[in-house]
């Protein structure tokens, strides 16, 4: 249902030997650019595109729906599919609105509705890291730090003349489809905390396995003119107090090209009161892991 961004999801399904792509479907009242992207994907795989969701269900016998629409439509499409008795896997985030997330959680039909898991949690390389932290192999955790910065090709902040119109968010995101940085596509502008926050938050939650007791967060618009004009963040700093005595500090954002050279930078620093850990690779987005102990610092760096 809708393949307008992040088409890695249906591509992954297509690559699995137990699944077969049957049809692309979407609502007929969507704008032209949505239909164009859906049709392009359907043509690539030699399957029909039906701009009528109920009709697609009637004409094609399928069991699983993948939702890769704009984030603001994730919940609506997923709940409708679940209500039709279908299994659903949807792209992140669940929604841009808490009310929509609550609606999905309240729906009995969504007991089979799953949000796609973080890809960096699934590869085998992530599991030794999880075991090393949760088993206490590195000792009792003290404050941990995670930095997650993307380089994106949006125009940086610049001088604005009186009367200059604001950058149109949807138009900018449609243009960004060519370089794959259109994760925030939609009518509703999305800040980096909404677009990318699931990754660092998921890393800490997956690695530590502990609950969050208190959150302090601040956001700012520091790098990109499109974010300034649409009043959404491109930089977020926050701190988790965990149910253990530990805490986690995060910095995430999307920098301009002039501000950072690498295409993606992510560093997780779990600190512990015990010496020794041979740091496993936790996922392709993690560039380095630094473990501190009472005797000093151990660091291992991985290529992207």
Domain boundaries, the chain: 8-116, 121-301
CA distance 188 to 70: 9
Query: Facing residues of 145 across strands?
Result: 249, 269
132 against 16, higher pLDDT: 16
Q: Give Dmax over CA atoms of the chain in angstroms.
A: 66
Residue 287: pLDDT band (50, 70, 90) is very low
pLDDT score of 25: 97
pLDDT in tens, 163-179: 889 899 999 888 887 76
Which of 118, 28, 116, 6 shows the shortest CA–CA distance to 64?
116
Q: Which CATH superfamily is domain 121-301 in?
A: Dihydrodipicolinate Reductase; domain 2 (3.30.360.10)
117 against 275, higher pLDDT: 117
pLDDT score of 9: 81
Residue 110: pLDDT band (50, 70, 90) is low
Query: Facing residues of 23 across strands?
Result: none
Percentage with pLDDT > 70 across the chain? 73
CB 141 within 8 A of CB 208: yes
With tokens 């015990």, the residue in question is: 274
Q: Is 129 left (phi over 0), alpha (psi -120 to 50) or beta?
A: alpha
pLDDT score of 140: 76
CB 207 within 8 A of CB 268: yes
| Residue 230, pLDDT above cutoff 80 | yes
Which of 244, 294, 250 shows the shortest CA–CA distance to 269?
250
Q: Is CATH 3.40.1160.10 what the domain over 8-116 is classified as, yes or no?
A: no
């Amino acid at each position: 249902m809708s393949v307008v961004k992040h088409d890695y999801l249906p591509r992954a399904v297509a690559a699995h030997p137990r699944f077969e792509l049957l049809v692309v479907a979407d609502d007929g009242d969507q704008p032209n650019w949505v239909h164009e992207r859906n049709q392009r994907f359907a043509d690539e795989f030699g399957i029909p595109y039906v701009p009528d969701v109920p009709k697609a269900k009637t004409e094609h016998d399928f069991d699983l729906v993948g939702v890769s629409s704009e984030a603001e439509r994730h919940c609506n499409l997923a709940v409708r599919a679940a209500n039709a008795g279908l299994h659903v896997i949807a792209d992140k985030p669940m929604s841009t609105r808490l009310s929509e997330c609550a609606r999905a959680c309240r729906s009995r039909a969504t007991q089979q509705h799953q949000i796609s898991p973080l890809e960096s949690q699934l590869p085998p390389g992530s599991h030794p890291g999880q075991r090393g932290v949760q088993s206490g192999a590195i000792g009792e955790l003290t404050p941990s730090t995670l930095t997650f910065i993307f380089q994106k090709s949006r125009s940086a902040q610049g001088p604005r003349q009186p009367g200059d119109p604001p950058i149109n968010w949807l138009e900018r995101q449609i243009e960004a489809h060519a370089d794959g940085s259109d994760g925030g596509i939609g009518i509703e502008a999305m800040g980096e905390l909404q677009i990318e926050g699931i990754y660092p938050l998921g890393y800490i939650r997956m690695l530590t396995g502990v609950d969050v007791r208190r959150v302090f967060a601040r956001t700012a618009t520091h790098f990109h003119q499109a974010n300034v004009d649409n009043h959404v963040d491109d930089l977020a700093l926050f701190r988790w107090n965990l149910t253990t005595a530990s805490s986690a500090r995060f910095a995430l954002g999307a920098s301009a090209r002039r501000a950072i050279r690498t295409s993606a930078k992510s560093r997780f620093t779990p600190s512990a009161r015990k010496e020794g850990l041979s740091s496993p690779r936790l996922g392709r987005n993690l560039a380095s892991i630094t473990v501190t102990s009472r005797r000093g610092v151990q660091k291992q760096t991985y290529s992207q």
